[in-house]
Homo-oligomer: A and B are copies of this chain.
Amino acid sequence: MTTAQRPTLEAVARRAGVSRATVSRVVNGSTTVAEPIREAVRRAINELGYVPNLAARSLVTQRTDSVALIMPEAAARVFSDDQYFPGIIRGAAQELEAADKQLVLMLAGSPAGHERVERYTTGRHVDGVLFASLHGADPLPGRLARLGIPVVCSGRPLGGTPVPYVDVDHIGGVHRAVQHLIDSGRRRIATIAGPQDMVGGIERLTGYRSAVAPAGLPEWVAYGDFTRESGVAATWQLLAAHPDLDAVFAASDLMAHATLRTLRATGRRVPDDVAVIGFDDIETAAYTDPPLSTIRQPIQEIGRRMTRQLLRLAAGESIEPALVLPTELILRDSG
């Protein structure tokens, strides 16, 4: 499997009868090259099938034109049909495509993975690093930031070092949703909260409390980890403790979907007996039975904004330390 020797700048230069520098100028679109020469170089490039060696280029330019997107989740969980990560990826990919940069995807679930990510990112193999969702107080974003590597997180990082981030208004969104339940007469409103080591999990619970407490209603909380499985368990738990509940706010659509099914399994009707509201507005939400009311967060937009911030950072501009995007209450039939 002998790989044909790739042509180099040198080879093109020889063939076109010019210097390496001139070929480089043509390749990089400098204007100071006379048209006939430019044309000759182009022809030589085509004839030889020349393609620049990116490693050599980035060795001297100190840029790699690629950015890493880190998912600090176990690989197994990243791609459930939760639309969060895919949405972030998609937004980032779009924005990077426009900037003609590459997206390097890294899963940092295992400790080994985390270590690899650290080696790779600190190894200057990327111009910047995007963190999609953080668990606990991961020190890596702060460390990278201190190394001078551009970093942007999705969701306010819990660590000590301040790192620029993009997030949505969890509290406001949930508050409005729960308030809507209250306004429509619900009085026994439970919630299935997310993991309490993630900002999203914490703040959505805060939002629930901020609506329920002032109304003098009880706080009924069960915990899940955003997945359907955990949603089933949490729903049973709530039902056991409060068989008379008349509404559930679940911190993710996946959990809300599980709640829908579990409620039905117990003979309760949605929304007649129990109202259900989720969070995310994944595609499936419109296809559940009944269609799920939910709080939409602009996931793709988060990915886009993160990327935009990162690129500005990488370009040496200064940016707002935080960007908070609005959420929207989508009312369907479940509540």
One digit per residue, 1 when the CB lies within 8 angstroms of any chain B CB and 0 when it does not, for chain A 36-78 equals 0000000000000001111110110000101000000001101
CA distance A102 to B287 in the complex (A): 36
Q: Do the beta carbons of B106 and A103 come within 8 Å of each other? A: yes
For A106, list chain B residues within 8 Å (CB): 102-103
Tally A residues with Cβ within 8 Å of B: 59
For A4, list chain B residues within 8 Å (CB): 147-148
For A64, list chain B residues within 8 Å (CB): 55
Candidates B51, B56, B81; contact of A83 at CB < 8 Å: B81
One digit per residue, 1 when the CB lies within 8 angstroms of any chain B CB and 0 when it does not, for chain A 103-114 equals 111110010110
Given that A75-B93, A81-B83 are known contacts, is A54 also in contact with B124, CB under 8 Å in the complex?
Answer: yes
Q: Do the beta carbons of B105 and A104 come within 8 Å of each other? A: yes
- Identify the closest chain B residue to A105 (Cβ): B105
Given that A122-B51, A124-B54 are known contacts, is A287 also in contact with B104, CB under 8 Å in the complex?
Answer: no
Check: A94 CB closer than 8 A to any chain B CB. Answer: yes
One digit per residue, 1 when the CB lies within 8 angstroms of any chain B CB and 0 when it does not, for chain A 311-335 equals 0000010000000000000000000
For A282, list chain B residues within 8 Å (CB): 81
CA distance A283 to B58 in the complex (A): 42
Given that A3-B148, A55-B59 are known contacts, is A102 also in contact with B79, CB under 8 Å in the complex?
Answer: no
Check: A19 CB closer than 8 A to any chain B CB. Answer: no
CA distance A228 to B79 in the complex (A): 19
For A289, list chain B residues within 8 Å (CB): 289
CA distance A106 to B257 in the complex (A): 32
Q: Do the beta carbons of A228 and B287 come within 8 Å of each other? A: yes
- Identify the closest chain B residue to A261 (Cβ): B287
Q: Do the beta carbons of B78 and A124 come within 8 Å of each other? A: no
Query: Nearest 7 pairs between A and B by C-beta?
Result: A79-B86, A3-B148, A55-B58, A105-B105, A55-B59, A54-B125, A81-B81
